[in-house]
């Protein structure tokens, strides 16, 4: 008898059956949620990516042409690791000490999470995971090592923002720890670690002999803070980092991602597993990644301008609705994690609502999509379980927020100081 799952109405439910399509990974709740709503809900207020850009704009930024650089491209196999030209461009533009041989292009960024878990972990290994987190980080490592062996390192909800709790990490890490998993800038809270904090994390890993996996997909967003996120691969010899073009650079449709790892034996093991997953990266993606490396300043400025404008709108919105929400502005990245106050999480009859029920009511009533904290590794208790993710990277953010405000005006009319954005 094998534990399986069935899909009905875009929802997985557990079922016990004979050996028919055995499936041991739990449902990917965030992606199932987006499968149901991303292309049907008219107002997306929770997306983690920045506004996408047309291919012509990317090529223009890079000084390339559609006819010459794309139209003449041969549709053959690419080198399994991506090839020297693009790897060198990534290493030299994004990292201080990495070289081209340290870079491994992936079929998609999420493949990197799978490869790290498959190569580094065996059942029973201890993992420490920064939480809340993108649910692929949580479930992948829980399934590979055992749920009971994954310790959650929770962020603190400070008065003015989310904060790292380094003393808590020091208490739970030990020589038994095989892997520590972090993410900077952080999805969904927007926390970034300054140089001193990153050094403390890497020192704790080095003292305990464990690997450090850092998801750096949001690196490049800094939201007005003077701190710039260093790469963990430039600080610690046993670090593995994940990078890509989906978030900071507004190109999620390319599925462009890479791992950077300095240990040649470990890197070769990643490559061997990659032969069984994607084998080699998409040729079109390789060319567009090369273009992006030539156009990094323009791409970052474009995205940062969008996020800065949206943050100004969000700051005013949450000031007006402070009786319903606790707003902790993100230090970096394109997302924020918004706490709902008790006055918001109640039905019209006065009974309490879960954050999932509230988000469901909002999308059903006005078509505004929010992502419940439950999908980001938040349990039933604590502040994170009362939060939703807010996406700040889209150009239609103010329009979507206006629709959300109209919903609040109808249902919570006594809770605002000013009704205008």
The residue that leads in pLDDT, 28 or 145, is: 145
pLDDT at 147 over 70: yes
Span of 185-189, 221-225, 305-309, 368-372 with lowest mean pLDDT: 221-225
- Could you give the CA distance from residue 310 to residue 145 in angstroms, rounded to a whole number? 40
| Confidence bin at 27 (pLDDT 50/70/90) | confident
pLDDT at 151 over 90: yes
Tell me phi and psi for residue 34, to 5 degrees: -70, -35
Q: Is 20 helix (H, G, I), strand (E, B) or coil?
A: coil
Average pLDDT (124-153) is 94
pLDDT at 20 over 70: no
| Confidence bin at 187 (pLDDT 50/70/90) | very high
CB 390 within 8 A of CB 359: no
Average pLDDT (164-176) is 97
Average pLDDT (72-93) is 94
CB 274 within 8 A of CB 110: no
Interval 350-374: pLDDT, tens: 788 899 999 999 999 999 999 999 8
Specify the pLDDT at position 199. Answer: 96
Sheet containing 335-340, strands listed edge to edge, beginning at the edge strand earlier in sequence: 325-326, 335-340, 387-391, 371-372
Angle of helix 296-320 relative to helix 283-294, nearest 10 degrees? Answer: 80
CB 242 within 8 A of CB 187: no
**Which of 278, 301, 246, 280 shows the shortest CA–CA distance to 87?**
280
With 0-12 CB in 10 A as exposed, 13-18 as middle and 19+ as buried, what is 276?
exposed
The residue that leads in pLDDT, 18 or 206, is: 206
pLDDT at 17 over 50: no
pLDDT cut 90: percent of the chain above it? 79
Specify the pLDDT at position 1. Answer: 43
Q: Is 98 helix (H, G, I), strand (E, B) or coil?
A: coil
pLDDT at 3 over 60: no
N residues, the chain: 421
| Confidence bin at 308 (pLDDT 50/70/90) | very high
State pTM to two decimals. Answer: 0.91
Span of 48-57, 237-246, 319-328, 379-388 with lowest mean pLDDT: 379-388
Q: Is 95 helix (H, G, I), strand (E, B) or coil?
A: coil
| Confidence bin at 18 (pLDDT 50/70/90) | very low
The enclosing H or E element of 266 equals helix 264-277
| Confidence bin at 224 (pLDDT 50/70/90) | low
Q: How, if at all, do strands 177-183 and 162-163 pair?
A: unpaired
Specify the pLDDT at position 357. Answer: 93
Highest mean pLDDT among 141-145, 245-249, 311-315: 311-315
Average pLDDT (82-98) is 96
CB 131 within 8 A of CB 138: yes
Specify the pLDDT at position 203. Answer: 98
Average pLDDT (101-117) is 97
| Confidence bin at 419 (pLDDT 50/70/90) | low
Longest dimension (CA), the chain: 64
Average pLDDT (127-137) is 94
The enclosing H or E element of 110 equals helix 109-120
| Confidence bin at 188 (pLDDT 50/70/90) | very high
| Confidence bin at 325 (pLDDT 50/70/90) | very high
Specify the pLDDT at position 377. Answer: 76
Tokens at 86, concatenated: 């693009």
pLDDT cut 70: percent of the chain above it? 90
pLDDT at 111 over 60: yes
The residue that leads in pLDDT, 11 or 357, is: 357
| Confidence bin at 87 (pLDDT 50/70/90) | very high
Q: Please name the residue ranges forming H helices in 321-388.
A: 355-366
Say how many CA atoms lie within 13 Å of 16 toward its Cβ.
1
pLDDT at 104 over 80: yes
Tell me phi and psi for residue 377, to 5 degrees: 80, 5
């Amino acid at each position: 008898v094998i534990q399986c799952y069935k899909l009905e109405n875009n929802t997985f439910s557990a079922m016990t059956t004979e050996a028919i399509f055995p499936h041991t990974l739990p449902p990917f709740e965030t992606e199932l949620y987006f499968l149901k709503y991303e292309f049907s809900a008219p107002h997306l207020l929770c997306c983690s990516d920045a506004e996408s850009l047309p291919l012509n704009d990317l090529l223009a930024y890079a000084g390339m042409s559609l006819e010459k650089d794309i139209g003449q491209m041969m549709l053959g196999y690419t080198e399994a690791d991506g090839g020297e030209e693009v790897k060198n461009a990534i290493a030299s533009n994004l990292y201080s000490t990495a070289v081209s041989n340290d870079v491994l292009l992936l079929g998609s960024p999420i493949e990197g999470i799978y490869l790290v878990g498959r190569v580094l972990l065996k059942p029973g290994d201890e993992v420490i995971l920064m939480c809340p987190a993108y649910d692929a980080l949580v479930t992948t490592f829980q399934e590979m090592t055992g749920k009971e062996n994954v310790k959650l390192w929770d962020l603190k909800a400070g008065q003015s923002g989310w904060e790292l709790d380094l003393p808590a990490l020091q208490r739970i890490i030990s020589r038994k720890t095989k892997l520590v998993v972090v993410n900077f800038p952080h999805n969904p809270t927007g926390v970034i670690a300054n140089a001193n904090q990153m050094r403390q994390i890497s020192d704790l890993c080095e003292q305990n002999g464990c690997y450090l996996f850092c998801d750096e997909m949001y690196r490049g967003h800094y939201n007005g803070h003077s701190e710039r996120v260093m790469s963990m691969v430039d600080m610690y010899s046993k670090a593995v980092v994940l990078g890509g073009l989906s978030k900071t650079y507004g190109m999620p449709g390319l599925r462009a991602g890479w791992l950077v790892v300095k240990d040649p034996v470990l890197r070769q093991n990643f490559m061997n597993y990659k032969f069984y997953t994607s084998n080699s990266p998409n040729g079109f993606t390789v060319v567009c990644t090369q273009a992006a490396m030539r156009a990094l300043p323009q791409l970052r400025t474009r995205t940062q301008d969008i996020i800065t404008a949206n943050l100004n709108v969000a700051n005013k919105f949450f000031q007006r609705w402070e009786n319903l929400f606790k707003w902790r502005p993100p230090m970096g990245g394109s997302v924020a994690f918004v706490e709902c106050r008790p006055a918001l999480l109640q039905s019209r009859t006065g009974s309490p609502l879960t954050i999932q029920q509230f988000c469901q009511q909002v999308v059903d009533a006005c078509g505004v999509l929010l992502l419940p904290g439950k999908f980001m590794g938040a349990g039933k208790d604590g502040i994170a379980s009362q939060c939703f993710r807010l996406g700040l990277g889209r150009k239609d953010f103010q329009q979507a927020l206006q629709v959300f405000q109209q919903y609040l005006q109808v249902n919570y009319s006594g809770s605002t100081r000013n009704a205008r954005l």
